[in-house]
Amino acid sequence: MALAEIKFGTSGWRAILADGFTHANVRRAVAGIARVVVQKKPQGARVIVGRDPRYMGETFVDIAAQVLATHGVTPLVVAEAAPTPAISFAITSLKADGAINFTASHNPAEYNGLKFNSSDGAPSLPEITKAIEAEVLKADKEGALAAAASKPGREQIDIRSDYLSRLKEIVNLDDIKKSGIRIVFDPLWGAGRGYSDTLLRDAGIPVATVHDVRDVLFGGHAPEPEGHLLDAAKAKMRETGASLVIATDGDADRFGVMDADGTFLQPNYVIALLFDYLVETRGWKNGVAKSVATTNMVNALADHHNVELHETPVGFKYIGELIKQDKIAIGGEESAGLSIRHHVPEKDGIIAGLLCCEMVAARKKSLGEQLHDLFVKVGSFYPLRENFRLTPEVKSKFTTKLTSDPRDFAGKKVSSVVRTDGLKLILDDGSWVCYRLSGTEPVVRAYTEARSQDDSARLSAAAREWVFKD
């Protein structure tokens, strides 16, 4: 029987429970990680092992600890479900040699996944994940895993208090408290439970929490902090008179924010608002980063503030590298991931939400009012992301089409072609379209951005037509 392929994507290896994500395959993946760690540090290596609250998470942590120990690596086991950014922070604070994190992030409950963060706390770069994949294949050919240790050594650690202490240093909790605003927090049954709300509550800030229990089915839908999944938080906001909702996904590395009137702010806008706010309040002008698929409002703000712009491929590991080098004040992706200067080189949905609370408190304006001010400052931007499913025939033709260099699109001239990740066509009026094929399913992601809502609708229609026309 052929062994399942273990392939690391932009955020680790993910598969469906009891299908690809099995005890045996987890052992193979962890053994590959252990081999890579030992090659770098033959003696005394320590690796953190954590998880989100998904089904069987404790079992996978136990398996990983056993496999690490057989390879001479000491597992530092996080007893409770923990956010990805807290695990990232713990790597550097404990001087560990990396972390294995069992999480499928915002994917539905039938999935689980494994992420490996390097000793710097950042998501592993492609050279590391390729080395892990190679070690898995090498072990498969050898036909056996390392023998089980007779007394596997492990240490149990608590990472919550140190991470919360770090957040207190970053977020101006006094300003939030003095403003008198109320907040609703929705962890969506995920690993963020007991983090954002505890920090706010301990500072004397009124906060109400919804979905504050463990539910391995996440309420019957994906634990994704998007507007249509935040009805309970919206109801609680109206009940308590809160000024905003902050939410996190299954492992709390992604954020969702809802304004006082119930409007969900898409992540593109939150990234732009926080970039502007950090320049204004911290004076950080060392740079800003965004993925190629993220709003060009960030580009316009970079020009406005005279800040260097870095445009990266999709995958937070590239932004994490810039944070480590202190080249940026903030970096973000339209898929609701961001982090900031002097913080973890990993997506952090908790810090994103807390900084939004600070921004509303300090500016004494709703998020919608602040976005309007931003439109006045640098112009209006209307970004959109759509997924189109492809038949094998259409995918084959479209894959060839992605290598072309169109001279016009949607009735406008193409002023430049960007191939940082996928195909991005920038049009002569400043609008753009970007296509990226999924590596795991027959889907193409189409990102568009125009300068008016009417133009956005037309550009979206043209983006779809270009996918399916011969």
pLDDT digits (tens, 9 = 90+) for 248-287: 999 999 999 999 999 999 999 999 999 999 999 999 999 9
Is residue 8 situated within a structural domain? no
105: its two tokens? 């992030």
Q: Are 189 and 321 members of one domain?
A: yes
| CATH number, domain with residue 463 | 3.30.310.50
218: its two tokens? 């996440």
Q: Are 235 and 323 members of one domain?
A: yes
Q: Are 85 and 125 members of one domain?
A: yes
* Burial class (CB within 10 angstroms; exposed 0-12, middle 13-18, buried 19+) of 204: exposed
pLDDT at 147 over 60: no
The residue with greater pLDDT, 470 or 34, is 34
What mean pLDDT is reported for the chain?
95
pLDDT digits (tens, 9 = 90+) for 364-376: 999 999 999 999 9
Q: What is the DSSP string of 265-308?
A: EPHHHHHHHHHHHHHHHH---S-EEEETTS-THHHHHHHHHT--
pLDDT at 151: 47
Q: Are 193 and 328 members of one domain?
A: yes
Hey, what's the torsion of the CAs at 67, 69, 72, 74, to 10 degrees?
120
pLDDT at 150: 44
- Angle, CA 463 vertex, CA 460 and CA 466 arms, to 5°: 150
Q: Are 173 and 26 members of one domain?
A: no
pLDDT at 4: 81
pLDDT at 221: 95
User: Number of C-alpha atoms within 13 angstroms, CB side, residue 219?
Assistant: 21
End-to-end CA distance of the chain: 40
pLDDT at 141 over 50: yes
148: its two tokens? 């089980």
* Strand locations in 334-411 (E): 337-340, 382-389, 408-409
Question: Radius of gyration over alpha carbons of the chain, in Å?
Answer: 22
Is residue 1 situated within a structural domain? no
Q: Are 171 and 127 members of one domain?
A: no
Region 418-443 average pLDDT: 92
**DSSP three-state, residue 164:** helix
Q: Are 234 and 347 members of one domain?
A: yes
pLDDT at 146: 52
- What's the farthest any 2 CA atoms get from each other in the chain? 70
CA–CA gap between residue 211 and residue 193 (Å, rounded): 9
| CATH number, domain with residue 139 | 3.40.120.10
* Burial class (CB within 10 angstroms; exposed 0-12, middle 13-18, buried 19+) of 137: middle
CA–CA gap between residue 84 and residue 436 (Å, rounded): 26
374: its two tokens? 């931003």
Instruction: Give me the number of domains the chain comprises.
Output: 3
**DSSP three-state, residue 77:** strand
**DSSP three-state, residue 143:** coil
pLDDT digits (tens, 9 = 90+) for 324-343: 999 999 999 999 999 999 99
- The residue behind tokens 């689980």 is 112
Whether the CB-CB separation of 374 and 298 falls below 8 Å is answered with no
Is residue 3 situated within a structural domain? no
Region 303-312 average pLDDT: 98
Is residue 6 situated within a structural domain? no
Is residue 5 situated within a structural domain? no
To the nearest whole percent, how much of the chain has pLDDT over 90?
A: 92
pLDDT at 216: 97
Parent domain of 295: 162-378
In 3D space, the residue among 294, 298, 276 whose CA is nearest the CA of residue 285 turns out to be 276
Structural domain ending residue among the three candidates 130, 158, 186: 158
pLDDT at 20: 94
Region 66-89 average pLDDT: 97
- The residue behind tokens 């895993």 is 145
- The residue behind tokens 């066509």 is 425
pLDDT at 321: 96
In 3D space, the residue among 262, 251, 257 whose CA is nearest the CA of residue 225 turns out to be 257
CA–CA gap between residue 91 and residue 89 (Å, rounded): 5
Q: Are 101 and 29 members of one domain?
A: yes
- Angle, CA 57 vertex, CA 117 and CA 231 arms, to 5°: 95
pLDDT at 152 over 60: no
Is residue 216 situated within a structural domain? yes
61: its two tokens? 């942590």
pLDDT at 176 over 80: yes
Is residue 53 situated within a structural domain? yes
Whether the CB-CB separation of 312 and 355 falls below 8 Å is answered with no
Q: Are 242 and 291 members of one domain?
A: yes
Structural domain ending residue among the three candidates 378, 401, 420: 378
In 3D space, the residue among 125, 122, 73 whose CA is nearest the CA of residue 101 turns out to be 122
Q: Are 71 and 186 members of one domain?
A: no
Classify the C-alpha dihedral 395-400-405-409 as positive or negative. negative
457: its two tokens? 């609708």
CA–CA gap between residue 328 and residue 339 (Å, rounded): 10
In 3D space, the residue among 399, 270, 257, 435 whose CA is nearest the CA of residue 338 turns out to be 270
Residue 2: band (very low, low, confident or very high) from pLDDT cuts 50, 70, 90: low
Region 36-47 average pLDDT: 97
CA–CA gap between residue 158 and residue 219 (Å, rounded): 27
93: its two tokens? 């604070």
pLDDT digits (tens, 9 = 90+) for 181-201: 999 999 999 999 999 999 999
**DSSP three-state, residue 449:** strand
Q: Strand 99-102 to strand 111-117: parallel, antiparallel, or no bridges (unpaired)?
A: antiparallel
Is residue 7 situated within a structural domain? no
Q: Which helix (H) or strand (E) holds 444?
A: strand 443-450
Q: Are 367 and 224 members of one domain?
A: yes
Q: Are 193 and 226 members of one domain?
A: yes
Mutual angle of helices 349-363 and 367-378, in 10-degree steps: 80
Structural domain ending residue among the three candidates 158, 175, 204: 158
